[in-house]
Amino acid sequence: MKQSPQAPSTRLAEVWSDTVDLRHLAWAIGIGITVSVAGFFAASRWLRGVVASPELAHAYAMLAGLAGCVLAGVICARLFPPKREVVEHSATHDPAWRAEVLAELAEQPGGLGTLADLPDAVVRELKELDLYDLFAQPAAPAPASSAAAEPRRGAAKEALA
């Protein structure tokens, strides 16, 4: 009899662009429902004797239920740590990726500009992030072709006409 490989103890899913453990998500939903409904019913029962109008007591009880939702969120945040895995310095060290990003930035209106145009605070921040050398390197000249130069002349003629 073969044993199947054990499944990981956590099943992760993406909810609202965040990674969650499905088991923890189920517990968090249960905790949220329990705390908010308990807060609503406790406040409703207590406020019936305090407030003159039953409608006003119900409205305040709903507010207590909302406060219970916030309290449940705090409880769940303490019980269930984040499941994200932050990976730094992976793609940023790839020279091809850097060249591609710089080419995209150069195509934007205004181009890359020069480092001399930047304020001192921005230059300091670029140096702290080890990005200054990346922008200080001279950009590779774009290959000039006669086909690319031809529309420019035509556009200039149209502008003069």
pLDDT at 148: 46
Task: Say if CB 22 and CB 13 are below 8 A apart.
Answer: yes
Domain boundary assignment for the chain: 12-79, 95-136
What integer pLDDT is reported at residue 88 of this predicted model? Answer: 64
Tell me the β-bridge partners of 35: none
Structure tokens that stand for 35 in this block: 């705390």
- Helix, strand or coil for residue 110? coil
pLDDT tens for 76-94 read 999 998 877 766 665 556 7
| Residues near 31 by beta carbon (within 8 Å), at least 6 away in sequence | 72, 75, 76, 79
Q: Which of 49-58, 68-77, 98-107, 122-131 has the highest mean pLDDT?
A: 68-77
Q: What are phi and psi of 19, to 5 degrees?
A: -90, 130
* Residue 14: CB atoms within 10 Å: 8
CB atoms within 10 A of CB 36: 21
Q: Which of 135, 137, 131, 140 is nearest to 93 (CA)?
A: 131
| Tens-digit pLDDT profile for residues 133-161 | 877 765 554 444 444 444 444 444 444 44
pLDDT (average), residues 110-138: 81
Q: What is the pLDDT of residue 93?
A: 67
What average pLDDT does this structure show over 54-70?
95
Which pLDDT belongs to residue 26? 94
